[in-house]
Amino acid sequence: MKQFRFTFLLVASLFSLSASAQTADEVIAKNIEALGGAAKLATLKSVRMESNLSVQGMDIPVVTTKVHNVGQRVDISAMGMDGYMIMTPTKGWTYMPFMGQSAPEAMPEEQVKEGAEELDLNGALFNYKEKGSTVELLGKEDIDGTSTFKIKLTTKAGKTRTYFIDAKTFFIIRMTAKATVMGQEQEVSVSYGDYKAVDGVFFAHTIGGAFGQGDMTVTKIEVNKAVDEKIFTVGG
Amino acid sequence: MKKILLCSFLISMAIVQTGFAQTAINSNTFGMMEARALGPGTMSGRISAIEGVADDPKIIYVGSAGGGIWKTTNGGASFKPIFDKYCQSIGAIAIDPKNSKVVYAGTGESNMRNSVSIGDGLYKSTDAGDNWVKIGLDSTEHIARIVVDPKNSNNIYVAAPGPLWSDSKHRGLYKSTDGGKTWDKILYINEKAGCAEVILDPTNSDIIYASTWEFRRLPYLFNSGGNGSGFYKSTDGGKTWKELTNGLPSKPFGRIAFTLAPSAPQNMFAIVESNETGLYISNDGGESWKKQSAILNVVARPFYFSTIVVDPKDPKRVYRPAYTFSYSVDGGYSFAESSGEGGWLHSDMHALWINPQNSSHMYVGSDGGVYMSVDKGATWMFLQNLPVGQFYHVAVDAKEPYNIMGGLQDNGSWIAPSATPGGVTNSSWVALFGGDGFWVQPDGVDPNIVYAESQGGNVGRIDTRTLKSVSIKPQQGVGESKLRWNWNTPIVIGQANKKNLYIGAQYLYKTTDQGRNWTRISPDLTTNDKKKQEQENSGGLSADNTSAENHTTIFTIAESPLDENMIWVGTDDGNLQYTIDGGKNWVNVAKNYAASGIPAQTWVSSIEPSRFDKNTVYASFENHMYGDHKTYVAKSTDLGKTWTMFKSDEFTGFAHKIKEDLVSKDLLFIGTEMGLFASTDAGTTWFRMKNKVPDMALVRDIQIHPKTNDLLIATHGRGIYVIDDISPMRLITKDIAEKDVYLFENKPMRLTNGDWGNGGFPGTGGWNAGNPISIPPIQYYLKDRLNSGRVVVEIYDDSGKLVQSIPASNRKGLNKVYWNQRMKPPKTATGGSKVDYGGFIAPMVLPGKYTVKLKAGSKELSSSVVMQHDDKNPNFSKEDRQLQYKTAMDIYRLHESLAKVVDDISGRQKQLKKYMDSTSNKKLKVTLQEYYDQLEALRANCLATKMKSVFADEERIRERITDLYMAVAMQESAPSNLQLQRVGVLKGEVDGAAQSNEAIVAKYDAKVKAALIKEGLLKDDKPKVENKKL
């Protein structure tokens, strides 16, 4: 369950697109360019994504709504039961009735901290310096046969994420992270594919390794639609 | 202008290159064809270094002799390998005391036994082992100790004994003052003597102690000791040194293991190998020493046991992990042995780490893995999750599932099934034979017999039913020389005639009756060079002759798969001989292979007579015992007259094994001390096989299973790897590799739930290798990762109806997708308070021909697959299957019927809620509520709606259907009488619910509609539609 939550935060972070170059900065610049350019990315205020998780032939719809640095809500429907995860910069809740939860539970503080940066719609690599993060290019690495630049980002809070950026397309094809949550070290690896433009910004439309299941397929993305911020509260 | 010219030149070059670029076939081509690490952890392997993080002692790094570095962050509950891209032999690990994220790893173990591997330098990580960079000392080959100055992290000391098999300048004590960027050699004796140990005084980092060691191995002799060995002290950070002699025995010395008490660093302990090998104690910082009598273990095998450690707080408590584990509580004056309570502590120890926060808690590394103690070493518990066993060979039998067997360094010979319920775990392995294990061979005819051995040719015939063994070692005959058995004596079953069993001393022996009667079928096939036969003098200052130095012996034997009279033999001293008449006459082709550039007198490490052509033979040669690490593998197509060496820039490490595929003559594999390599073009080009095998794995043996096409890899440090079904390596030709997308034809598939049973709880620790997947995959090839669009595999039945749509992977190379042989699950009733698993289960499809459609981006390809009834299952006939399918589908439809009723109810309820909220007419509200409540009562009868906890079961119609559905849809048998009867009962319940729904609707609907119209909440103009909706 904890692993699930942690994975979830990172999966939802797909909104936070990023990329890389020959020096870390060059790679990141090319990634930003590949995603639609800095100017375009900077206009992102909200994203709503409809997706589908296929579990043994059963389709589970997942809707993610995110407002830049304000909040993120992931709604999951399975078996006619509706669950959600909510994250704001300071608070978080989960309600997963299909996983046996009977009432919303507040996320542990550590987990909220772990997830807070995922609320950044522009992605951790975008303007990373201003955000107080540092990056390091760890050379090239072969990911499932594809040559990538390996960029390690360390946030102001000391958290690290490793991005594998396709050396041809400059899209992120994999992100790995380690975190210690509630005294347990957890490792997560998420892969991204099928990048398509939505209003000039490229988003991955397949997300692999999500929730330890198969690929999550994104069916629809809307950007900058008005979002009622009440949805980032329990019962909202 | 020049620039423009250059540019246009480069552009046209680029165009040319693009135009003619061929897609290289390499490891990536076979994308998802990945290895499973079989482990096991039962018998782990030699551990050479253990270091923990002082301020977070649950983080521990374990360095192994041939399996890289493993890290635990939970005190040993689980381990992860963190060094898989680099040299797998680890000599030393050090953690920066000021910043535990900085970790150093010295490659090349320094336990200088015959089978020790070599390193390629020093590595540094600044992120606790996630990423590594090599920082030098590339040619030291062996590193014994790394010390980071606790006062200044930039000062690093590295003790490098240096090469074992040759003279070298790359040995001695190295120091860096810039965190490893540059190195100075601060203590160097000569090309024969390196540095074996270095320790800093924890209270004054300028005080350094170091021991130097002169040592050398030859293929047939070991020497520890000489004038280069010495004991030194510096008080100025290594600028100047003085030799410590006062009270020590007279020189020459061998290896000196020493330590000091961290809490009282004037107190020192040294085990000095010499003509008076013994324990020496100093209480004045090494200025003077006194010999102390000590038990045998304390002074045992100094070249191999070089660890002595003092408790971090108690200067009187001294630990000596060696052949056994000894400890002293009185400053080394007397020693006790650890207790066997809690289980045997594997002999031969090389590393000890004591938790500085709690010195009762410690980890010891032995030849059999890592153990933990919480009582200061009195008792030990084994950590069963480190799969670092050091196999020499692997073999398989013909059973289903087949058995895998092999022998390990210091850990005997074992056998395990390749698949078993719950996965192949530690407990799946059965011990066959003791000692050091090497070859294990299944009898070619009798499925109950295997042959195994311990070092020096002690071969046994084992009946796997009783596990009793009988010695079948050939004995010296009249007029014969003393038999010379290699440490790793070949025992080989015939390829052309499976009844033949061969074993080699200097003579070749053959038996056709399981070793009851042997015939010698050759003269001495070695050089019989007497200089190389003086093993009794081996060891140097300490005698050490354990058959490990036996030489001028037969090392490899191979019978041609095409002719039992054609037998090839290779020796450890360079002879390569064959017979074509079953041993009457022998031809030595040593000079012929030497003509191709392979050094004479090298070990012939493996021979592979081709199964496609009698005149073709492959052989691997290794010369590392003469200090030469090149990869020598060659092929002859004229019965050994001329040889061509395989060449590739990819090759690393000396070669142990060449293997020809059983089906494709163009497919070859090579195993070396540093990697697994493959060629799909008969050896013209080679690539490193990664596919989840560590890049630099020490590959000792390679086998291919003739039925499953599994590739089995015996590693000397990572146990056994299995790559399930390598047939794609035969199928992906250059033409196919050029295609953007390629869908492979499917072999007929058996319809089955799987072959490995259903039993078992989750693993409770230890290593679990899992099982091969029992359902074959649908396989396709992508030339490049698909960047836009997705990949989907769709299955259609004979009538063209879509059966399943499976999201599939987009990676470069071979992809595998597994169809569970079932259709899509039913739509089940939703909106309850519990997860109903009926919605995840679908009936298995019926036998027949199905179409496989691959959609990859804009490309679409089709193939077909024939699904067959499972004839292997005697309890499930074709008729049973038909009835089971029909019944499962009947229940499937019950689920869908009930779902319709519930959807109808929920839809109405939603509308009613809306009207209740929007009307102020109290009477109408009451009627609406009544209607709603009646529907809710019915709904609550259809599915669980009240359940609050997963532990409180609530069973309604949906749950009752699922209960039956799961049983019938998943069973591989005909439905029982009561299952069949139950379908009717449940159908009655579903029909009843539908009728009740109609009755409620009939009772309320018109009435409510009229009232709503009256209230103006519903228009009258679309009565039919509204009727339906409300």
Subunit contact B787:A193, Cβ cutoff 8 A: yes
- Residue A213: pLDDT over 80: no
Residue of B nearest to A195 (CA): B788
Residue of A nearest to B830 (CA): A80
Shared-domain flag, residues B928 and B1020? yes
Choose one of B473, B491, B522: the last residue of a domain: B473
- Shortest alpha-carbon distance between residue B812 and chain A (Å): 6
**What band does B1029 get if pLDDT is binned at 50, 70 and 90?**
very low
Q: What is the pLDDT of residues B11-20, one digit of tens each?
A: 333 333 333 4
User: Nearest residue of B to residue A170 by CA position?
Assistant: B787
Phi/psi of residue B909, nearest 5 degrees: -60, -40
Residue of A nearest to B945 (CA): A81
pLDDT given at position A110:
79
Phi, psi angle pair for B25, to nearest 5°: -85, 120
**Among the listed ranges A191-200, B571-580, B755-764, which one has the minimum average pLDDT value?**
B755-764
Q: Is residue B1005 part of a domain?
A: yes
Residue B496 domain flag: no
Q: What is the pLDDT of residue B834?
A: 81
The residues pairing with B199 across neighbouring beta strands, listed in sequence order, are B209
Per-residue tokens: B916: 């209740």
Judged by a CB distance cut-off of 8 A, whether residue A169 touches chain B is: yes
To the nearest whole angstrom, how far is the Cα of A80 from the nearest Cα of chain B? 4
Is B650 inside any structural domain? Answer: no
pLDDT tens digits for B834-864? 888 899 899 999 999 999 999 999 999 999 9
Instruction: Return the H-helix or E-strand segment holding A55.
Output: strand A46-55
Are B498 and B445 in contact by the 8 Å Cβ rule? The answer is yes
Integer CA distances (angstroms), B587 to A46, B366, B560, B583, B590, in order? 80, 45, 15, 10, 9
| Chain B interface mutation, best of A58, A186, A219, highest count of B Cβ atoms under 10 Å | A58
> Which residue, B445, B473, B501, sits at the end of a domain?
B473
Of A147, A177, A151, residue with least CA distance to A163: A151
Residues of chain A contacting residue B842, judged by C-beta atoms under 8 Å apart:
57
The answer to whether A146 contacts B784, with C-beta atoms less than 8 Å apart, is yes
Residues pairing with B722 in the sheet: B36, B712
Last residue of a domain, one of B473, B490, B508: B473
Q: List the Cα angle A195/A199/A204 in 5-degree steps.
A: 15
Q: Kindly state whether residues B824 and B904 are assigned to the same domain.
A: no
Is A185 within 8 Å of chain B by CB?
A: yes
Q: Do residue B337 and residue B227 come from a single domain?
A: yes
Confidence of residue A185 (pLDDT cuts 50, 70, 90): confident
Q: What is the pLDDT of residue A72?
A: 94
Nearest Cβ partner for A102 among B785, B822, B949: B949
Evaluate the omega torsion of the peptide bond into residue B728 and state whether it is cis, within 30 degrees of 0: no
* B950 at interface of A, judged by CB pairs closer than 8 A: yes
- Copy the structure tokens of residue B669: 């594999």
Could you tell me if B309 and B399 lie in one domain? Answer: no
Interface test with B, best of A102, A144, A154, A165 (most B CBs within 10 A): A144
Q: Are residues B109 and B221 in the same domain?
A: yes
Please state the separation of Cα A87 from the chain's center in Å: 12
Count of domains observed in chain B: 4
Average pLDDT for chain B: 94
Q: SS3 letters for B532-597? A: HHCHHHCEECCCCCCCCCCCCCEEEEEEECCEEEEEEEEECCCCEEEECCCCCCCEECHHHHHCCC
In chain B, residues with a C-beta closer than 8 Å to the C-beta of A54 are: 806-807
Q: Which site among A79, A146, A205 would you substitute to test the B interface, given the most B Cβ atoms closer than 10 Å to its Cβ?
A: A79
Dist. CA A66–CA A232, nearest whole Å: 9
Q: What is the pLDDT of residue B1018?
A: 86
Length of chain B in terms of residues written: 1030
Compute the nearest-CA separation of B819 from chain A (Å): 10
Contacts of A98 in chain B (CB under 8 A): 835
B217 shares a domain with B133 = yes
Q: Which two three-digit tokens encode residue A75?
A: 């709604």
Q: Which domain holds residue A145?
A: 2-232
Range of the domain at B238: 84-355
Check CB contact under 8 Å for A144 and B31. Answer: yes
DSSP B338: P
For B204, residues 6+ apart whose C-beta sits below 8 A from its C-beta are: none
Structure tokens at B146: 């790394």
B73, B811, B832 member nearest A80 (Cβ): B832
* Residue B151 is assigned to a structural domain of this protein: yes
CB of A217 less than 8 A from some CB of B = yes
pTM of the model: 0.93
Mutation test of the interface with chain B: which of A35, A56, A211, choosing the one with the most B Cβ atoms within 10 A?
Answer: A56
Sign of the alpha-carbon dihedral angle for B432, B435, B438, B443: negative
Cβ of B790 under 8 Å from any chain A Cβ?
yes
Domain co-membership, B243 together with B183: yes
pLDDT for B21: 55
Among partner residues B31, B131, B839, which is closest to A58 by beta-carbon distance?
Answer: B839
Residue B176 lies in a domain: yes
Same domain membership, residue B407 and residue B341? no
pLDDT of residue A211: 52
User: C-alpha distances in angstroms, B860 versus A45, A212, B789, B792, B855?
Assistant: 38, 28, 12, 10, 5
pLDDT in tens, B326-379: 999 999 999 999 999 988 999 999 999 999 999 999 999 999 999 999 999 999
The proportion of chain A whose per-residue pLDDT surpasses 70, expressed as a percent, equals 87
Q: Note whether B833 contacts A144, CB cutoff 8 Å.
A: no
- Contact of A58 with chain B, judged by CB distance below 8 Å, is answered with yes
Rounded CA separation B767/B424 (Å): 8
Q: Are residues B316 and B427 in the same domain?
A: no
| Confidence band, pLDDT 50/70/90 cuts, at residue B954 | confident
pLDDT at residue B442 greater than cutoff 70 = yes
CB pairs under 8 A between A and B: 97
Question: Of the segments A64-78, A203-217, B85-99, which one has the largest average pLDDT value?
Answer: B85-99
Tell me whether B824 touches chain A (CB under 8 Å): yes
Q: Which residues of B touch A185 (CB under 8 A)?
A: 73-74
Residue B711 within a domain: no
Residue B157 in any domain: the answer is yes
Taking alpha carbons only, the member of B909, B950, B951, B911 closest to residue B932 is B909
Distance from the B493 Cα atom to the nearest Cα atom in chain A, whole angstroms: 39
Which residues contact residue A178 at a Cβ distance below 8 angstroms, ignoring those fewer than 6 apart? Answer: A160, A185, A186, A187, A188, B130
CB < 8 Å to B832, chain A: 79-81
**Taking Cα atoms as reference points, which of B727, B729, B726, B744 lies closest to residue B781?**
B744
Kindly state whether residue B6 falls inside one of the protein's structural domains. Answer: no
B311 in the same domain as B187 = yes
Inform me whether the pLDDT recorded for B688 exceeds 90: yes
Cα–Cα distance for residue pair A79/B944, rounded to 1 Å: 12
Measure B829 CA to nearest chain A CA, in Å: 8
CATH of residue A177's domain is 2.50.20
Residues of chain A in contact with residue B806, where contact means CB-CB under 8 angstroms, are 54
Query: Could you report the per-residue pLDDT of B399-440, keeping only the tens digit for each?
Result: 999 999 999 999 999 999 999 988 999 999 999 999 999 999
The total number of structural domains in chain A stands at: 1
A59 touches chain B (CB under 8 A): no
Contact B824 A57 (CB under 8 A): yes
pLDDT of residue B262: 98
- Cβ of A202 under 8 Å from any chain B Cβ? no
Tell which residue, B547, B556, B501, has the closest CA to residue B526.
Answer: B556
**Total number of residues shown for chain A:** 236
Q: What is the pLDDT of residue A14?
A: 43
pLDDT higher at A80 or B150? B150
* Chain A residues touching residue B820 (CB < 8 angstroms): 56-57
Which residues, 6+ apart, have CB-to-CB distance to B643 below 8 Å? B592, B593, B595, B596, B598, B619, B634, B635, B636
Q: Which of B173-187, B750-764, B864-878, B963-977 has the lowest mean pLDDT?
A: B750-764
B30 CA to chain A: closest CA distance, Å? 9
